[in-house]
Each structure stands twice: as C-alpha cells, then as structure tokens.
Amino acid sequence: MMELAKRFLGKNCIIYYFDSQACGVIAQVDDDAILIQTKRGEELLNLNFITRIMEYPSKK
C-alpha cells in the first residue's frame, strides 16, 4: 500500500478510512502513515486503516 500511495504525492486526494474520509494534498508517505495538508492544517493517517485513495476530481 505504501508504494501505491506514493503515486499520489503532491496531489489533492480524497482518502477513505473506516466510515469517514479526509480531503487534502498528500505531503509525505512513510512506512505506516500518510501526512496530508488540509484546510484545517496537517493530518496524519494510519496506512493500515485506509481503504481507498482517489485523486480529487477537477473541472476541466
């Protein structure tokens, strides 16, 4: 999962975990965590609980 999550570095994403989600730019991916920049600040998410990562759709 870590190697796949690294594909989204620097992109604005929606990250799904348990029954919730977080939106932000993925700043860093480590062995067991993802650091994201959100509107409210930084969030650290455990990779073991993430079920889906999707690049945030943008209007073209």
| pTM (2 d.p.) | 0.85
Q: What pLDDT, on the 0 to 100 scale, is given for residue 46?
A: 93
Q: Categorize the per-residue pLDDT at 54 as very low, low, confident or very high, splitting at 50, 70 and 90.
A: very high
pLDDT for res 60 = 60
pLDDT at position 55 is 94
pLDDT digits (tens, 9 = 90+) for 16-31: 998 899 999 999 999 8
Question: What is the per-residue burial (b if ≥16 Cβ within 10 Å, else e) of 21-40?
Answer: eeebebeebeeeebebeeee
Name the average pLDDT for the chain.
Answer: 92
